[in-house]
Structure 1
Amino acid sequence: MRDTLPLLRQTRFPALRRAALDTLQMNLGYLCNLACVHCHVAAGPRRTELMSRETMDVALEFMRRQGIHTLDVTGGSPEMNPHFRDLMRAAKAQGVHLMDRCNPTIIEEPGYDWVAPFLAEQQVEVVASLPCYTSDNVDQQRGKGVFDASIAALQKLNDLGYGQPDSTLTLNLVYNPVNPVLPPPQAALKADYRKFLQDQFGIVFNDLFTIANMPIKRYGSMLLSKGEFGPYMDLLKHAHRDENTRSVMCRNLISVDYQGYVYDCDFNQMLGLDLGAASGRVHLRDLLDQDLEDRPIHVADHCFGCTAGQGSSCGGALS
């Protein structure tokens, strides 16, 4: 896999500082049942990196001391971490809002039939990746059979009340482009998703988040190998909008890797870019009582992926 970091370090991206911290995003490990070509984590079935229960306990203490409102778990497939349920139950007991960035096909994997009922029981907000509403595009990006498995999983979530009118169980979907282009307008695409999935499969959901592909890790390597890295970076830079910098996700969250080290966002974590203003890696245990507000954020050229066009974040478009 070719490394894009040397091409991203020198940047003219505007300086950023953190606002009030309200979200802890935890990467529970790089193990995944899929190996998607767009994956900025380079996750897959052969990855062995998984967060320990001890590191999770540090995170729970951090959330308690810092008054964190939202725990946002990601991976890999976070449900494949053997301590996933313990973490979610403990955070729920602390009154923290739970979000699971879910690859929905995990619900269809042997041995994981507990996932959907558990998420419903714990009132976890599900953010499920579905990069298109047609089978050809999804299977091209994620592998043969992924679309059908995703549809079956979403139907199971609907059966449990997710996405249904008047239900407290939230189901949001995530779209990312198959090709190196900016996502289309979120509102119009959401209407297309809603109509097609309802008409064809009876699936309902709450919201659709559009997210730009990041030119890092597996996706960045693919762009380099195809000679498309430069044009894609030009696209992101030319579409940059300064107003989007006010709403980027890194201003209100920090990202924790499977070992407990802290980064300004999940993308910086994958690039190994240390927490802004730090002289090296910083562990979460060393930040338990630290005020992170107004601290500088480590930026590089990949940050244009969050500010191009309508903007992009873990919660979809910014404008």
Structure 2
Amino acid sequence: MLDSKPLLFPSDFPPIRRRRLTTLQVNLGYRCNQSCLHCHVDAGPKRTEEMSLETLDELLAFLRRGGVTLLDITGGAPELNQVFRPLVVAARELGVRVMDRCNLTILEEPGQEDLADFLAEHEVEVIASLPCYLQENVDAQRGSGTFDSSLRGLRALNLRGYGRSDSRLSLSLVYNPTGASLPPSQCALETEYKRELKARYGIDFNRLLTLANMPIRRFGSWLQSTRQFDDYLRLLKSAHQAANLESVMCRDLISVDWQGYLYDCDFNQMLDLPLRQGDSDHHSPSPSPSPSPSPSPSPSQRERLHLRDLTSAERLMDRPIQVGEHCYGCTAGQGSSCGGALA
């Protein structure tokens, strides 16, 4: 597995701070029915981490405090978790928008036969991974048979109104490069996807999101094994666009892991860079009146921040964001975030 330290220290990534929190991105666990090459979570069928009912209660308590307008549910395959459906129902009852990061093949898993109906009933926005409209490319990245299963999933969603121009049910597709390269223009690729998927398979969707692959976990290990790791980091840094700093997702989002601990983003979660108690005291300290002040605890000594520790989202305002070399993956070229291109 990739050692994260070379990504973190040293880094000359520009310092950035948080704005008002609007999005809660929750990783329900790392269990998945697939083991994709580009996966930065290293999710798969053998992973056992998943959110408990107790953590679900703490998550819902935080949502009830207000301020969060979008709940972004991810994994693994989040639908495999016991709390997925109760979380969706409760969040929608609170008037919160809900997005499900769906791998499409989950719709054919045993016990998920009614998943498409459930998503449509609760008007869940579906963000579905489909790295290409060609079978050979998708199967190479996500496993043999994935493409055909994904098409069946898309047709099931279309049948329920997803992706149709006259429907409120939003369906976005996600493109990841198959190798150590940056994604092409999101706008141009979306036009190509819509034309090809409609002509070849009769499939409709609303928008395409292009995401850069992060050099961490499984994709990072692949980069190292193919001796492309350093070159890929240089590519990301050389393509850095300062204008993208204004729109990176971590400024308005926090990531929550399956145990309820908080991170600046899902990538920091995978690198074990949690938010910690005391990190919000980020302003330059005044000179101490004491000639022998007590030493402040190091970051490793401070306790991790948990959902239960946040009495208000306002506490995170203007907090510095932990950055590292991996952050160039979000600002390279047209930019990349969980919402697609930034530029």
Q: Which of the five TM-score ranges fits, normalised by the shorter chain?
A: over 0.9
Q: What CA deviation, in whole Å up to 9, does each residue of 1:161-202 have, x standing for no partner? A: 001011000000000000100000000000110001000111
Q: Corresponding residue for 1:224? A: 224
Instruction: Tell me how far apart the structure 2 counterparts of residues 170 and 192 of structure 1 sit (CA, whole Å).
Output: 19
Aligned-pair CA distance for 1:102: 0.6
How far apart are 1:112 and its partner, in Å? Answer: 1.0
May I ask how many residue pairs the two structures share in their alignment? Answer: 319
Supply the RMSD in Å over aligned alpha carbons: 1.1
The one-letter code of the counterpart of 2:336 is S
Larger CA Rg, structure 1 vs 2: 2
Query: Residue by residue, what CA displacement relative to the aligned partner does 1:34-69 show, whole Å, maximum 9, x if unpaired?
Result: 001110000000100000111111111112214210
Q: Which residue among 266, 290, 294 is the counterpart of 2:318?
A: 294
Letter matched to residue 313 of structure 1: S
Match of 1:181 in 2: 181
Give 1:96 deviation, angstroms. 0.4
CA contact (8 A) 2:30 2:43 kept: yes
Deviations 1:195-248 (A, max 9, x none): 010001110000000000000001001101111000000000000000000000
Maintained 8 Å contact 1:72/1:99 = yes
Give the aligned partner of residue 311 of structure 1: 335
Contact 1:4/1:221 (CA < 8 Å) preserved in 2?
Answer: no
Find the counterpart in structure 2 of residue 233 from structure 1: 233
Aligned-partner Cα distance in 2 for 1:269–1:96? 23
2:2 aligned counterpart, secondary structure: coil
Pairwise CA distance, 1:312:
0.2
Contact 2:8–2:323 (Cα < 8 Å) also in 1: no
For 2:305, the equivalent position in structure 1 comes to 282
**Distance in 2 (alpha carbons) for counterparts of 1:315 and 1:9:** 27
Normalising by the residue count of structure 1, what TM-score does the alignment of the two structures yield? 0.98
Partners of 1:133 and 1:245 in 2: CA distance? 31
Provide the C-alpha distance between the structure 1 equivalents of 2:5 and 2:124, rounded to a whole number of angstroms. Answer: 34
Structure 1 stretch displaced more, 277-286 or 263-272: 277-286
Q: Give the structure 2 partner of residue 202 of structure 1.
A: 202
Find the counterpart in structure 1 of residue 105 from structure 2.
105
Q: In the alignment, which residue of structure 2 is the partner of 1:123?
A: 123
Alpha-carbon shift at residue 7 of structure 1 (Å): 3.7
Q: Structure 1: 5+ residue runs without aligned partners?
A: none
Structure 2: unaligned runs, 5 residues or longer: 281-298
Q: Give the AA of the match of 1:153.
A: G
CA distance in 2 between partners of 1:186 and 1:249 (Å): 17
Native 8 Å contact 1:101 1:127 kept in 2: yes
Matched position secondary structure for 1:297: coil
How far has the Cα of 1:287 moved from its partner? 1.0
For 2:41, the aligned partner's letter is: V
| Structure 1 stretches of 4+ moved >6 Å | none
**Does structure 1 conserve the Cα–Cα contact (< 8 Å) formed by 2:99 and 2:127?**
yes
Partner of 2:60: 60
**Distance in 1 of aligned mates of 2:275 and 2:178:** 30
Q: Which amino acid in 2 is paired with 1:285?
A: R
Q: CA deviation at 1:110?
A: 2.1
Measure how far apart 1:148 and its partner are: 0.4
1:63 alignment partner, SS class: helix
CA distance in 2, matches of 1:167, 1:289: 35
Quick one: percent identity of the two aligned structures? 59
Q: Deviations over 1:260-313 (max 9, x none)?
A: 000000000000012272734211100133521111100000000000000000
